[in-house]
Amino acid sequence: MRTGAAHGCIGHVHEAGFYSSDAEFLALIVPFVTDGTAAGEPVIIGYDDRKCELLRARLRRPDLVRFIADTSLYATPAGAIEAYREQFHWCVAAGAEQIRIAGDVPHEGNGGRFAGWDRYESAVNIAWQGYPVYSRCLYDATTVADPVRDVVERTHRRLLTAGSGATVSRRYQEVPDFEPLQRAVDPLEAAPPTVELINPSPRKARHRVAEAARGRVNAATLDELRFAASEAVLNAHLHGRRPVTVKVWTGPDRIVLRVHDTGPGPADPLIGLVPAPGGLAGRGLGLWLVHQFTNIDIDLLATADGFTIRLRAGPLPASSENVAGTGTPHA
């Protein structure tokens, strides 16, 4: 039987809260945890060390909570979705009727980078729908940027504040309707591209990209970039519409790559964040793998003239340039 706000629900119950102090944080998380452990539910916590210690100090039985110490849990959105999914799978196999989770999505206010996690917060409303998950995403109101708060309100059906209870988010967007944050144009793109290819084969594209990137990024990054470029071009040929163009911009230690086709782009809002519906049979896996790489940055951009996969390697521009506000991605 499911408990708390998830009582009587099926699938993932996804709520968010804002706090302005440690006291408010604890007011929002401690009952969530203790109600879960009292009901015999697995409770999985993915916070940083400071928050974990704050929470542990307030629990009579911290041993009943699964604190995930792996700092790579939130390395990538796709990686986090899969890591949690595996946890859910084992919990359900062990007989759990509900699983409670809480963790910190990276954003500029907690030292992270929010780009990409906007899609995550929306996607988990569907990606985990097959599991009895009750999740509570808590954000520090004193540090969260307005664009992040905007995404939180559009991706969680219930919003909480300490002392004020829960309200329904009137701005919630169903997953197919979710509008990701705009992605700023990279400063390197102000100059003409170093490489420009029209309808290249995946092989030619990855060779030219590797040639452009060599000496600018390390070997591990080069491997990821080459793979990603190849997959992006292959997907453009298979699923997009010609012409397929590849443009590359380079800096001393950076590289930006755009693979564009004139098709409408993938219809699946979860593309890249979960394996394609065909499962792990090969099809659709390429983008999912790219989304789990930690040395390159990937953006999927639908524009008026088609669809673009943007890949970036090397140090990214300052964070403020990466969370540019709401609306249809324009970059």
Partner 1 sequence: MCGRAYPRQVAPFGGAGSVSRPGLRGHTWCLHSDVAEYRRCLAEFFAEGVEDGLRVAYVSSDGAEASRADLAGLGELDRLLAGGALQVLSTRDIYGAAGPVDPERVVTCLAAATEQAVAHGFRGLAVSGDATELVRASAHRDAFARSEFLLDCYMATHPLSALCGYGLELGKDTVAEFAVLHAPGPSNEAPFQVFGCADGAIGLAGEFDQIGVAALGRVLPRLRPADGEVLVVDLAGVEHVDHRLLLMLDDYARSSGVPVSLQSVSPFAARLMELLPLPSLQRAEFEA
What is the C-alpha separation between 310 and 182, in angstroms, rounded? 13
- Looking at beta carbons only, is 41 or 82 nearer to partner 1? 82
Where on the chain is the footprint of partner 1 (CB under 8 A)? 202-203, 206, 219-220, 223-224, 226-227, 230-231, 234, 280-282, 285-286, 289, 292
- Looking at beta carbons only, is 152 or 274 nearer to partner 1? 274
Instruction: Name the DSSP letter for residue 316.
Output: P
User: Minimum CB separation from partner 1 for residue 205, in Å?
Assistant: 11
- Looking at beta carbons only, is 42 or 202 nearer to partner 1? 202
In our burial notation (b when 16+ CB lie closer than 10 A, e otherwise), range 244-279 reads: bbbbbbbeeebbbbbbbbebebbeebbbbbbbbeee
Contacting residues for 277 by C-beta, under 8 A, at least 6 apart: 268, 284
- Looking at beta carbons only, is 158 or 226 nearer to partner 1? 226
- By the 8 A CB rule, do 323 and 307 touch? no
User: Minimum CB separation from partner 1 for residue 240, in Å?
Assistant: 16
User: Minimum CB separation from partner 1 for residue 278, in Å?
Assistant: 12
What is the C-alpha separation between 77 and 63, in angstroms, rounded? 28
Angle subtended by helix axes 77-93 and 117-127, to nearest 10? 30
- Number of neighbouring beta carbons within 10 Å of residue 297: 21
User: Minimum CB separation from partner 1 for residue 304, in Å?
Assistant: 30
Which tokens go with 224? 């990821």
φ and ψ of 259, to 5 deg: -115, 115
- Looking at beta carbons only, is 151 or 222 nearer to partner 1? 222
Helix intervals (H) in the chain: 22-38, 49-58, 77-93, 117-127, 146-155, 202-213, 219-239, 285-290
**Three-state DSSP state, 156:** coil
Burial class of residue 49 in the structure, from the number of CB atoms within 10 Å of its CB (0-12 exposed, 13-18 middle, 19+ buried)? exposed
**Three-state DSSP state, 330:** coil
- Looking at beta carbons only, is 155 or 292 nearer to partner 1? 292
- Looking at beta carbons only, is 150 or 231 nearer to partner 1? 231
User: Minimum CB separation from partner 1 for residue 292, in Å?
Assistant: 6
User: Minimum CB separation from partner 1 for residue 291, in Å?
Assistant: 10
- Looking at beta carbons only, is 162 or 234 nearer to partner 1? 234
> What are the counts of helices (DSSP H) followed by strands (DSSP E) for the chain?
8, 12
User: Minimum CB separation from partner 1 for residue 227, in Å?
Assistant: 6
